[in-house]
Structure 1
């Protein structure tokens, strides 16, 4: 009797709960994510015979009242100048961008943040980069609110919103938004793509990667790249990313054609290293012999003819620090022209690969209802190649000089797998035509003005037209949401959201002359400051992009501000600061008001000092002993920092009677790093100083067989950058070799290669062995002790 009463009571509880669930106000259901399930409209009795089931609905936009929701393809190319793509006046053919322009709208006053991680965080969230903790790249956060390197939970990405509405979401390519200390297999993974609203991720998590040997990640698992592209051609990352994007789109469409997709394609190109298939590089032979000064002049004229800049625009002058092309020696001109040929090939190739993805969408009949957003650059072109260009970008990050004769010797192989090359800063300035400055410089349009185009044939009818409204990367998220018909949710995953700070660009779709709605926008990057408001721009340059440290005689709060009337001076060519001091003061006051509002303060112009990890979480801080099993791969940000400190590496191994060889432990690879390994029966410690110098220390005798304790003891000359060291090798505590590392890496060993134990991935630290160079004896673990 008691059981029967209990069952009846339980049934009433269930029925009341269902009634209450169905009574949730519709507005609430629209404003909170994830969406509640559809209210149950059947009947629940005590048995199946007295109950009426309801068929569970598929999770699709139409389930929530959104009919014919468009697919979205968002393309973000890396480190592109406004005058680089042919669509915006550059000399490098970019037919895919041309196609998007022809089928839609070309935006000529679109802006980014001047640096990669910040732009990407702003793009995905629709909020200013300091608002979401990305005031600078994740590896350089300072711990202040705007510089934590952590996208907060109250700033959900628009991918999370689309995912909740039933979109298939995938990300292919660069992800520079995982905090450095969260990039290992220990996680946490809530700020990896899978935690930011993407069902699938295939790409790399660092700032850049080797295009021939990328540090690939699939979802959260580090993998090795395939040996060839899908068509059997020699491997290249841009092609591989396109292959995976195409495969994903086709599979989703084949399995669930009514399910719209959102694909975020963010190749590593054209960020350094500038690496491309030889056939693409060869197409541009001799095309840049005129040099960077003439390129700017030619590009400026093409831009006027295309109408992407006004006919009365002025070409801004070359910065004083950059050399005139005619002042260079013939050898310098030959090397630098070749570096630009490589860069052009890299640019043309990645546009081609984007075109393959667009073609694939067309082939399945979905291009008409696909919103394609193609952004040519997360910032301006990069001047990080310095005045003379680089064979190896790691020399830039570590302040190491390169010799011209080495560049001359490498000229025929530039752009290939043996170099991590980058062109000179003056080419970056040329790519940013017609504006002043380059990447990193948020105060001027050379760092922040990027070409952008949108097409959506089903809804954008004014095809092939230009739009001159001021816009910013934070406008993309609200544009996508409005285009689909989704309001910003008040809550996501139970967390109340801060408002989206961008302005939807849908208002421009049908009205070329619509007044700009994004009327005010601050800019700041590494203390370079700017503020736009109602057609005016005030700019304050803190440091030039090739400065390793801020100028000692400058005060970040009292810079020489410039004033430009952008409505009449498209290129920031005429400084009105002296003529209009009151207007300038008004703009400066507005900058500080916006800076206070969006977590920009405190202003911080330090560069190399930001690489100090003391203000960021660490998996290794305070630890002096580490033990790693064979087969582990750890990014540098999560591995012990062994730069210019005393340490001992110990490996307990078992060597068979016939001997063994292979890697015990390595960090980095071909472009900087070190490794301890067994080769030809001897213990070897190899230190690669970014290719500038190499120090090879090997045992003077063969190591014994059986159970052996192998050890390398590193004694630094001083705990300071660039300090040398003495390295002593041991077998069973017997000294078997000693040598010198005369100069050490001061800042960063690698941008995306890992610490590997028992094998080597990516590229080899020395060309004396072949990958993966797995240790052929028994190795349980490698221990590292700081002493």
Structure 2
């Protein structure tokens, strides 16, 4: 369903202009938007929150995996006129920091606490069990939505959530850490870390719903359409009641999927390659005053080739990846424009404060080549250039799950070294734009003080004059570790934060009074063997020069400070588990069972909450009944086009397929027909070594087929879950791709799994 599809956005000329700059004479797009904003004469004093419109509205806009330099107002050639309008009429922060992973940043942002102290020390996909209480997922502190809902705010969340332990994302919950239970009155989005942009795993409030069938659907458009609907409903019914909106895009996380016209906007733009664009963004940032004039650009990452060393085929494919990435960001920006237009239309913009940021730096998950299948990448399987070339035209479509190569991620993170999941600045240093129509006296300017994502919610409380309650829902609340930077909105000389620790996947860092120490951890190595770097950030903005050997005492001092902060904020125990976290099965979770029964009629069960069959022996048994040879269809499907397994009856034969997406897979076809009447079909997988085993298919007690599975999934099976009696979303097998859900026409009551060690 589409809402507000007639809302206007910035003019086509503004969005399409390829010569946009942030300062100077070519600001047509920004000027067009600026004319719609509140003038100083029109703006009312809102600081006492007693204006005729009531308390101020609050909006958080979160981009996903977008680097420091990706926005036009931060030095990029990518067209983002609506976000640039917020910067021109608000403030840009050039020293804003987050954790280098999705879930921890979101937890810190919404609670005002450091990620570890609120229990979200890693992504929610990994529940590492009772021995790691800081990495079990689910925020252990009240969110701003819980606080503001008690202050008579309506609270809305749309988009990516990723704050529920993913094994709790089943259609039956537990719901404790779903958006509605964390203070939001309405929710529309997906619960996990990423989802297909055209056919996402959708949840509305506490109910999972089927993926949309509309071929024109796009997730970025839908979340803003729903946000606008919520806002318009409230303004129509209760015009003086304020709202809090949490708008979390799936963009720019993979899959990079966007309509072709947005990709075409950048045709030919990136032909010069990533080395040129990194340098151009670097120079533009100096020109804009975003980085010091004497900044140095760190060398290219060791595993990123110089652009002129690539083959013609490599260049062609890698350009397509970046055209898609840029088009997706422009498309997301267009949706921000729709939100701003609706605020203007409902006379709300001059009574709304907006905070826009990215959750971490750009991701290097694409490694040297990029990929077309996220599931395969998690399992360590990357495509060859020939394989990429075969799917060149599909990049950006819903047929593949693309992510760009590491070379473009380094451009996104200009001028820094490091990437997402790293504690170098490339992982933790992000754009932050703050819009407030009355507190900001010098719109369009830059703030250079150090701030952290945990500081944003305390800032909102400070602006609204709210003291967070010490007890919410009967639970005693943590004292906020975030610090308000309200003063920075009004005074460019106000102080920022002086100390902030970082930790992710064993990587550590600490910032204090202009200096930063970084421990670059090598997975599997003892932490005491890690190399520590030392940077004087006040004089070396881009971490270009390591001073560890020159100032060993300063490094020791910062190492001691890190230890103190880590103990204070519950960082210990450390672990460098990452992909292996998908295999973690704590004994107190649903995934610790050995026997599962799934009944027909069950909503699609998410992969994260499904029976964990990876790298173990197991049996799947399905009683069925057929009244005629025409009763075919899917009996069980787990996964989608990215991988998984499926049982189906095709021309009276029982078929089992194990798919690894575009890597191929394995198939067993029964050597007898499936009988008419009652029967029991069974699949047994007997593990014979790491990630391999023998698959055997039975009808009743008769063996009807077998195969050797030599290389099965290591960590993640799919980003699509389990269907009983059909295959919704994208099909596991291309064999029945033209048959819709290929619903089984016979009788099927249940599917039984028995798992072995």
Note whether the superposition's TM-score is higher than 0.5: yes
Q: Please give the per-residue CA displacement for 1:463-503, whole angstroms capped at 9, x wherever unaligned.
A: 11111110000011111111222112211122221111111
Corresponding position: 1:452 with 2:432: yes
Which residue does the alignment assign to 1:361? 343
Corresponding position: 1:527 with 2:506: yes
Shift of 1:343: 0.8
- Tell me, what secondary structure is at the counterpart of 1:299? helix
Q: Distance in 1 between matches of 2:663 and 2:196?
A: 18
Q: Distance in 1 between matches of 2:499 and 2:340?
A: 34
Q: Please give the per-residue CA displacement for 1:510-549, whole angstroms capped at 9, x wherever unaligned.
A: 1112222x11100111111111111111112114xxxxxx
Shift of 1:355: 1.5
Change beyond 3 A, Cα 1:465–1:616: farther
Q: Please give the per-residue CA displacement for 1:710-754, whole angstroms capped at 9, x wherever unaligned.
A: 222333333x22x14233242x33333333433211111123x21
Corresponding position: 1:764 with 2:700: no
- Tell me, what secondary structure is at the counterpart of 2:125? helix
Change beyond 3 A, Cα 1:616–1:569: farther
TM-score (normalizing by structure 2):
0.90
Change beyond 3 A, Cα 1:62–1:316: closer
From 277, 295, 298, the equivalent of 2:259 is 277
- Tell me, what secondary structure is at the counterpart of 1:521? strand
From 352, 367, 373, the equivalent of 1:386 is 367
From 148, 152, 160, the equivalent of 2:146 is 160
Shift of 1:145: 4.7
Report if the CA contact (8 A) 1:556-1:603 is conserved. no
Report if the CA contact (8 A) 2:49-2:55 is conserved. no
Shift of 1:591: 0.6
Corresponding position: 1:347 with 2:334: no
Shift of 1:152: 4.9
From 151, 158, 169, the equivalent of 1:183 is 169
Report if the CA contact (8 A) 2:126-2:137 is conserved. no
- Choose 1 or 2 for highest CA Rg: 1
Q: Distance in 2 between matches of 1:239 and 1:152?
A: 28
Of residues 245-254 and 741-750 in structure 1, the stretch that sits farther from structure 2 once superposed is: 741-750
Shift of 1:65: 12
From 436, 450, 458, the equivalent of 1:478 is 458
Shift of 1:662: 1.8
Q: Please give the per-residue CA displacement for 1:634-661, whole angstroms capped at 9, x wherever unaligned.
A: 2222221112333222222221325212
Corresponding position: 1:537 with 2:516: yes
Q: Distance in 2 between matches of 1:86 and 1:682?
A: 57
Which residue does the alignment assign to 1:692? 663
Which residue does the alignment assign to 1:430? 411
Shift of 1:625: 5.0
Change beyond 3 A, Cα 1:66–1:540: farther
1:141-540 alignment runs, 5 A limit: 141-143=127-129, 144-145=131-132, 147-153=134-140, 155-228=141-214, 234-375=216-357, 377-442=358-423, 444-516=424-496, 518-540=497-519
Change beyond 3 A, Cα 1:141–1:642: closer
From 577, 583, 594, the equivalent of 2:565 is 594
Of residues 691-700 and 198-207 in structure 1, the stretch that sits farther from structure 2 once superposed is: 691-700
Of residues 467-476 and 186-195 in structure 1, the stretch that sits farther from structure 2 once superposed is: 186-195
Of residues 641-650 and 304-313 in structure 1, the stretch that sits farther from structure 2 once superposed is: 641-650
Q: Distance in 1 between matches of 2:180 and 2:101?
A: 23
TM-score (normalizing by structure 1):
0.87
What is the number of equivalent residue pairs in this alignment? Answer: 707
Change beyond 3 A, Cα 1:66–1:397: farther
- Tell me, what secondary structure is at the counterpart of 2:118? coil
Report if the CA contact (8 A) 1:541-1:561 is conserved. yes
Report if the CA contact (8 A) 2:685-2:693 is conserved. no
Q: Distance in 2 between matches of 1:286 and 1:463?
A: 34
Report if the CA contact (8 A) 1:73-1:265 is conserved. yes
Shift of 1:221: 1.2
Corresponding position: 1:94 with 2:63: no
Report if the CA contact (8 A) 1:630-1:781 is conserved. no
Shift of 1:354: 1.6
Shift of 1:262: 0.9
Q: Distance in 1 between matches of 2:710 and 2:436?
A: 59
Q: CA RMSD in A?
A: 2.0
Shift of 1:64: 11
Report if the CA contact (8 A) 2:635-2:724 is conserved. yes
Q: Which runs of 5+ in 1 are unaligned?
A: 1-60, 544-549
Which residue does the alignment assign to 2:3? none
Q: Distance in 1 between matches of 2:603 and 2:724?
A: 6
